[in-house]
Structure 1
């Protein structure tokens, strides 16, 4: 699956990009019809400690799944987003099987 990672307001290092790609690619175990995905990593210049935003968009036939998370670190945000997507993909697969 193709994973596009875009960083907004900062330059992401290669280890962060590799981490994101690895986590997003692991979603293929739960639903094998994923076309591609887009991940946006954003830093808001606020005084809050939780100023990192992770937006994940999975393109799948029929509709897209979009998850937005706000955390202290990008790694934490990506982990929470992939956990949420795993649940959604599992539900979608169960619905298809029930038909």
Structure 2
């Protein structure tokens, strides 16, 4: 069932020193705040490591690390013929069938 706008709480998160107003379901707020904390930590790490770069460069590098991780997870969980998960499940299935 789709949530209505009334089910969402208005919150403000701060990423790289800038506030962003959002509306989130109460059940998702804690997870979102944890994600924002992680994003800010990675951003700060990039600012320290690449002190000669501006904020936008560090934000883009942070975004790219998350995009790369997401792509990896999607590849891993792809249930198509070429997915790593499918290959591993097939191997396990073969092992189990061999034991029966």
User: TM-score by structure 1 length?
Assistant: 0.38
CA radius of gyration, larger in: 2
By percentage of residues, which structure has more strand?
1
By percentage of residues, which structure has more helix?
2
Q: Which gives a bigger RCO, structure 1 or 2 (Cα 8 Å, sep 6+)?
A: 1
User: TM-score by structure 2 length?
Assistant: 0.38
